[in-house]
Amino acid sequence: MTIVIRSFGALGIVLITSIVLFGQNLKPDSLQQGAALKEVVIQATRVSSNSPISHSNYSREQLSKQYHAQDIPFLLSAVPSLVETSDAGTGTGYSGLRIRGSDPTRVNITLNGIPVNDAESQGVFWVNMPDLVSSVSEIQVQRGVGSSTNGAGAFGATVNLDLSKIESERFARLSNTLGSFGTRKNSIHLGTGLLRQGLAFSARISNLYSNGYVDRATADLNAVHLTGSYLDEKQSIQLHLLSGREKTYQAWNGLPAQYVDQPSLRTYNSTGSERTGSPHPDEIDHYTQRHFLVHFKRQLASNWSVQLNGHYTRGFGYFEQYKADQQLSEYGLLGDSLISSSDLIRRRWLDNHFYGSTFALRWIPQSTWKTSILLGGGWNQYQGAHFGEVIWSEHFTGVQNDYRYYENDAVKQDANLYVKLETAPVESLQLLADLQLRSIDYTFLGFNNE
């Protein structure tokens, strides 16, 4: 079975307001100021402080005061109209956010302007990027329909994560956190600061663990972030490697509403319970994700600047399930007249590649209207293999090692081009015009809908 989806669309938006102060305008810390003077910064996916789009900015200093071990959705819990969720109940592990009623697939997440949303599900799995806050220099949240950006889920709300700021002084940070439900975080973050040759390097290694509030909802998370930068008066080049590995016991089934008011049942976890006796001990989700980012920025003239970005994301992993009384024929296993069903253990795998590039060109005309024109866009391709393995069967002994009972392949391409115009004819009037063109081509090949 082959499914092909193609779409092409355009979205235009014009916003006018007489109020020019929105969001939270925060001063950068002293370490950031020294390096920021030399950096060529193009905020292609962000909005300015006087933009009519509702937004909030959070600096590194603000984030560090609130951060302990929680995922970014819980760190942003004070954002107006934001609702955070946690499968394990502790804010560590599988978590998510909704903004103004938009579900996670409609909230666009970017790292330095690079899309993070999964190309197929359009969701963001924060569990694959543990302790990311330790590397973030600023977060901007755009509430509701915001400015054009890159990525699949670009129209509900936007969370921009900025990792690009370079600290001018060398540093060494050791962070250890202990909390309820066996939660702990350990991380080491080292940096050279800005060297004489315009070079800067940093490295972070982190481990987070939690038993979870929900029964068996453990999370064992590891992360590495390596950065190399070069900058001079007119340009900068920056490389990032972010690697995350998670091993979590599944707790995504939720809880029946009638259990909430019963102390003995409010932490009940149904996953793994199909196994007779005690729950299956390995009803886990095990996934590794690595992000490679490269950024080039250059000031072409006093009022012209350009940014080119490239990215590659490698992801692979599985979730394991104990399934009771399964029909062998549904797994392509041939039983006999006496054995047609069996308890079994299966693993469902994802093995994918996501890569592409984005660009942004900004022109600031010499005008008393304080005008800015931005042309940007990007191209991305996703290649994903989906397959399932039966690794054990109670009554059917003929299962080969890593027997695959389904295999599906998906290829998705998306491209976008946008133009933004911001201008202020008078001090109390801000105008914004935004036009975006987007094209999507999605092909799914397989014989099983799993």
Domain annotation for the chain: domains and CATH numbers: 2-25+40-446 (2.40.170)
Q: Which two tokens stand for residue 413?
A: 């391409």
CA distance 362 to 174: 39
Mean pLDDT computed over 379-395: 94
> Cα(first)–Cα(last) distance of the chain, in Å?
13
Least confident of 66-80, 81-95, 296-310, 426-440: 426-440
What does the mean pLDDT of the chain come to? 86
**C-alpha pair distances (Å), 335 with each of 4, 55, 202:** 35, 60, 57
CA distance 412 to 355: 11
Q: Which residue has the higher pLDDT, 282 or 422?
A: 282
Least confident of 35-49, 155-169, 170-184: 35-49
Q: Is 132 helix (H, G, I), strand (E, B) or coil?
A: helix
Q: Which pLDDT score is estimated for 37?
A: 38
Q: Which pLDDT score is estimated for 153?
A: 56
Residue 185 burial (CB < 10 Å; 0-12/13-18/19+)? buried
pLDDT at 402 exceeding the cut of 80 = no
Q: Which two tokens stand for residue 320?
A: 């394991």
Beta carbons of 408 and 443 less than 8 angstroms apart = no
| Closest by Cα among 151, 144, 126, 145 to 136 | 126
Least confident of 107-116, 135-144, 334-343: 334-343
Q: Is 276 helix (H, G, I), strand (E, B) or coil?
A: coil
